[in-house]
Amino acid sequence: MWYNSILETIGHTPLVKLNKVASETKATVLVKVEFLNPGNSIKDRIALKMIDDAEAKGLLKPGSTIIEGTSGNTGLGLAIVAAVRGYKCIFTTTDKQSKEKVDMLKALGAEVVVCPTNVEPEDHRSYYSVAKRLSEEIPNSFYPNQYDNLSNTQAHYESTGPEIWEQTDGKVTHYVAGMGTGGTITGTAKYLKEKNDAIKVIGVDSIGSVYKSYFHTGEFDKSQIAPYITEGIGEDIIPGNIDFSYVDEVIQCPDKDAMLTTRRLAREEGLFVGGSCGAAVWGALEYAKQKKLTENDVMVVILPDSGSRYVSKIYNDEWMKSHGFMN
């Protein structure tokens, strides 16, 4: 058997049981290993869906340029789809992102514009604003806007959710995911709750993001915004893809716990993953401890990406020490 292009290999990632790292909970903790997608992250799913939908609507034509603001993973997914389909790519990203991510985007033929992290989203220098401006200036361009493009949520409703349901034979009781654009948690949760509305959905956020306070108050509190290190989760905006009506609990993970759990996953489980994966697993285990989950509980946690993006950061002792994460 063979595939007609690399795009046909997106999705259908395995569920793997955590053993040592989850030894303190009685619940079965399963992780969905999204780094086994061709672009090594869950974002391949939304990249393909956003491009398919844009082509169907006539928004993308031969020779078009795809322009997107991305922390790296969505860009990689889009660059892979663009390479197969024959589009050009320009990506804006922040100076917080790892060098590996930027180099990978360039390796796939994309142009990368690096923007400052610590500016307001509305600031003309922010990676959101620069992407939007470029899409207005460059003719025959398409701006997917993963934050507000509902194809993002739909990708997970159509693929991630059904896969988890089938892989657990409908036994899943808890679903845990980091919250970035909101598409992964919302689309998957919507599908799972339609199957069984008793399933609990736990979102994992970073300290310095607005999500947790927004979840509890329904109000956007600018005072919550602060710099943090973990890449790929947390926001300083409320994207169109996040729907808190599908979320039962939000747990904030400190950067240090995210990084140390990420390292544990590599060294104790052989799962070479990124920092948002460590955050999601830490949040899942924290929730399991708080709620005293039992052997009847089956928790599924999304591991969004690969450790290959973070060799110079999380897997570098000097970097870890410089941020106070190790002695």
Q: What single-letter amino acid sits at 296?
A: N
In whole angstroms, give the CA distance from residue 132 to residue 210.
Answer: 22
List, as one string, the DSSP characters of 138-170. Answer: STTEE---TTT-THHHHHIIIIIHHHHHHHTTT
- Catalytic one of 26, 32, 43, 256: 43
Q: What one-character DSSP code corresponds to residue 217? A: H
Active site residue 17: no
In whole angstroms, give the CA distance from residue 301 to residue 158.
Answer: 18
The beta strand positions in 153-219, using DSSP E, are: 174-178, 200-206
User: What's the number of CA atoms in the CB half-sphere (13 Å) around residue 2?
Assistant: 2
Cα angle 15, 16, 18 (rounded to 5 degrees) comes to: 140
User: What is the β-pairing status of strands 28-33 and 15-17?
Assistant: antiparallel
Query: Active-site positions?
Result: 43
